[in-house]
Amino acid sequence: MIVGIDLGTTHSLVGVFRDGAPVLIPNALGDLLTPSAVSVDDHGHMLVGLAARERAGTHADRTALAFKRWMGSDKLIELAGRGYRAEELSALVLKALKADAEAFLGEPVTEAVITVPAYFNEAQRRATRSAGELAGFKVERLLNEPTAAGLAYGLQERPDHASFLVFDLGGGTFDVSVLEYFDGVVEVRASAGDTRLGGEDFTRVVAELFARACPELAAAGAEPLRDRWWAERGWWRMAEQGKRTLGEREEAALEMVWNGQTLAATLRRVDYDAACTELLQRLRRPIERALADAQIDPSGLAEVVLVGGATRMPAIRQLATRLFHRLPLRTVDPDLAIAQGAAVQAGLKARDAALDEVVLTDVMPYSLGIVTVEEIAGRRVGDRFSPIIERNTPVPVSRMQHYSTVAEAQRQILIDVRQGESPMASDNLRLGTLEIEVPAAPAGQVGVRVRFSYDANGLLEVDAQATDARGALGELRNLLLRTGGTEMDEAALKAARERLAGLKHHPRDEQENRWLIERAKRLYADHLGDERRVIQAWLAAFELALDSQEPRTVRAARSALREQLDSIDRGFRF
């Protein structure tokens, strides 16, 4: 069975294609959205999802969030004193989704289509693949997120040459892509974005407005930063709820416990909207760039599609309506669209007849080229980047270019393959090198022919052969780049697989118990005095019920604790 997975920065989802339609799969808590969060408990067990997210405030040094940002880098994320790579943490999330899918489908799930942002480079795509493999999947394909969103909206059923703009505002990133459908093929024509702009920035605006309305916070010099302190105080949770309320009502009455006192303030939508002006302004540039790259103006777009949880904000819908002079499509739930598209693609992969005709192509998210030296005004200038495949070229693609020697009797030409958009080659990511021998000759008389071939799975094949005026000389050299500068090689993958196999997991049927306990602990940390005593008593009763190991007793205690916690937490899940 093949599943489709949206591996998001904030949330991840899994789905399958069944009876001609995508079906999303709930996790052990019954939610379609699983927070992309991992936490290690005091016994060395790994928690994934909502239970882990609950611990972000109370156990910041044992909990990791938003690790998708570090995919493809060598950064080690510390959890309980041990460093993990982003792909290892992502693998834990994928493993949990795999278990959920297997429980739901009642059969083993071995293959997956996983979505990635269109702008992900080689190393990031490779890391996503490794994460899938570490979780025990055969990764059938990486699918660009906007293409997935287009599939969820049935782009493939449109007339030829229909262009879609996908506007994706998630928790921490903003991505704009222009897709075109032609002759059974969906193409990502352009993609642009801001990797430092997302729903969290709007949450922060609410937190700041609250601080301004509460002199106690200002006097204490407290600042709503994404740090441990602000998570611990429930400040983030309150602001997140406030943001959602302000999307539905003109006012939001907010409250939080701080240093034993209850602080309260009522925020007005008009003030919130005014405070968001700068953030809304920042959404414009990537949109303009994507339209310019795709050489299309807003009137040429067949549809504008909003995806990502943060597009639920009315201010975002209004901005999109103003910019594109039309109402954007939002008929598919914006949190679910990418996962639904991934499931559609999984169905296609499984050769489901309903979708047989659809063939997809994607685009090169970054330019690929080599380092060259140029003769400018009689002087040799090095470190020039010479693109061979330009950004936004549809893939698969194969392009060739000629280069010649710059020095007298030069015997070697170094093909130094880079990825990026800087004219200075050293700013761009090095993917690999290849040395070509050439016969000694006057400068410019011999050279090399370089061919780059790139496929939809992110493999770059480099062919190079020495040439002179009469044609090819010597043998054809070939380099297959699956290894970017910063990704895991086979040995590292094997070691990671062993490390992950050694980790202890909580069984799936324990997930809700774990979540309730973490939630109670978080509420305990947020409250003081009598309320703490009450929470402690609830928790003790629940633990007693768990000790009985009697399923009926556990079930009853679980629903009691859930109700008790809801009564002081209003039951929000995020």
Specify the 3-state DSSP secondary structure of 502: coil
The CB-of-562 to ligand ADP minimum distance in angstroms stands at: 22
Give the separation between CA 162 and CA 182, rounded to whole angstroms: 7
Phi and psi, residue 239, nearest 5°: -65, -40
Interacting span for ligand ADP (CB under 6 A) from 242-250, 404-412, 445-453, 482-490: 242-250
68 assigned to active site? yes
Nearest CA among 283, 338, 278 for reference residue 309: 338
Cβ closest to ligand ADP, residue 168 vs residue 187 = 168
The CB-of-88 to Mg ion minimum distance in angstroms stands at: 21
> Of these partners, Mg ion, ligand ADP, none, which one is at the site of residue 447 (CB under 5 to 8 Å by kind)?
none
Tell me: does residue 170 bind Mg ion (CB under 5 A): yes
Tell me: does residue 484 bind ligand ADP (CB under 6 A): no
> Of these partners, ligand ADP, Mg ion, none, which one is at the site of residue 369 (CB under 5 to 8 Å by kind)?
none
CB neighbours (10 Å) of residue 456? 17
Phi and psi, residue 267, nearest 5°: -100, 145
Contact 479, 458 (CB under 8 A): no
Among residues 41, 54, 68, 122, which one is catalytic?
Answer: 68
Cβ closest to Mg ion, residue 8 vs residue 432 = 8
Bridge-partner residues for 471, per DSSP? 468
Strands 11-18 and 82-84, by their bridges, are unpaired
Number of residues that bind Mg ion (CB under 5 A): 2
Interacting span for ligand ADP (CB under 6 A) from 86-94, 290-298, 302-310, 387-395: 302-310
Amino acid, res. 114: I
Cβ closest to Mg ion, residue 170 vs residue 432 = 170
Q: What torsion, rounded to 10 degrees, do the Cα atoms 48, 53, 54, 60 define? A: 110
| List of residues 6+ apart from 446 with CB closer than 8 A | 404, 405, 438, 439, 466, 467, 468, 473
Phi and psi, residue 555, nearest 5°: -60, -45
Cβ closest to Mg ion, residue 196 vs residue 533 = 196
CB neighbours (10 Å) of residue 479? 15
Which residue is listed with tokens 């969820």?
A: 152
The CB-of-535 to ligand ADP minimum distance in angstroms stands at: 26
Cβ closest to ligand ADP, residue 199 vs residue 458 = 199
Tell me: does residue 35 bind ligand ADP (CB under 6 A): no
| Whether residue 507 has a cis bond before it, omega within 30° of 0 | no
Q: Could you give the C-alpha distances from 526 to 253, 263, 435, 570, in angstroms and in order?
A: 18, 12, 62, 14
Contact 565, 519 (CB under 8 A): yes
H or E segment and range at residue 419: strand 412-419
145 assigned to active site? yes
Among residues 6, 87, 100, 416, which one is catalytic?
Answer: 6
The CB-of-145 to ligand ADP minimum distance in angstroms stands at: 8
Interacting span for ligand ADP (CB under 6 A) from 56-64, 127-135, 197-205, 444-452: 197-205
Number of residues that bind ligand ADP (CB under 6 A): 21
Nearest CA among 114, 85, 84 for reference residue 98: 114
Give the separation between CA 489 and CA 89, rounded to whole angstroms: 17
Give the separation between CA 118 and CA 168, rounded to whole angstroms: 11
Tell me: does residue 8 bind Mg ion (CB under 5 A): yes
Cβ closest to ligand ADP, residue 4 vs residue 308 = 308
Tell me: does residue 240 bind ligand ADP (CB under 6 A): yes
Tell me: does residue 243 bind ligand ADP (CB under 6 A): yes
Cβ closest to ligand ADP, residue 312 vs residue 391 = 312
Cβ closest to ligand ADP, residue 246 vs residue 370 = 246
Strands 174-182 and 162-169, by their bridges, are antiparallel
Answer for which of 3, 4, 5, 8 binds ligand ADP (CB under 6 A) is 8
Q: Which two tokens stand for residue 187?
A: 């193409």
Tell me: does residue 9 bind ligand ADP (CB under 6 A): yes
Cβ closest to Mg ion, residue 200 vs residue 518 = 200
Give the per-residue contact string, 167-186, with ligand ADP (x = CB under 6 A; - = no): ---xxx--------------
Q: How far apart are the first and last CA of the chain?
A: 30
> Of these partners, Mg ion, ligand ADP, none, which one is at the site of residue 247 (CB under 5 to 8 Å by kind)?
ligand ADP
Give the separation between CA 180 and CA 163, rounded to whole angstroms: 4
Cβ closest to Mg ion, residue 243 vs residue 514 = 243
Amino acid, res. 285: R
Interacting span for Mg ion (CB under 5 A) from 162-170, 232-240, 356-364, 466-474: 162-170
Tell me: does residue 204 bind ligand ADP (CB under 6 A): no
Give the separation between CA 110 and CA 131, rounded to whole angstroms: 14
Tell me: does residue 365 bind Mg ion (CB under 5 A): no
Nearest CA among 450, 443, 441, 440 for reference residue 400: 450
Give the per-residue contact string, 315-354, with ligand ADP (x = CB under 6 A; - = no): --------------------x-------------------
- CA neighbours closer than 13 Å in the CB half-sphere of residue 422: 10
Interacting span for Mg ion (CB under 5 A) from 5-13, 106-114, 245-253, 445-453: 5-13
Contact 291, 298 (CB under 8 A): yes
Interacting span for ligand ADP (CB under 6 A) from 56-64, 166-174, 452-460, 462-470: 166-174
The CB-of-423 to ligand ADP minimum distance in angstroms stands at: 32
Contact 196, 172 (CB under 8 A): yes
Bridge-partner residues for 256, per DSSP? 263
Among residues 133, 140, 145, 487, which one is catalytic?
Answer: 145
Tell me: does residue 150 bind ligand ADP (CB under 6 A): no
> Of these partners, Mg ion, ligand ADP, none, which one is at the site of residue 309 (CB under 5 to 8 Å by kind)?
ligand ADP
Among residues 122, 140, 168, 416, which one is catalytic?
Answer: 168
Tell me: does residue 146 bind Mg ion (CB under 5 A): no
Residues within the interface to Mg ion (CB under 5 A): 8, 170
Active site members: 6, 68, 145, 168
Residues within the interface to ligand ADP (CB under 6 A): 8-11, 170-172, 198-200, 203, 240, 243-244, 247, 308-310, 312-313, 335
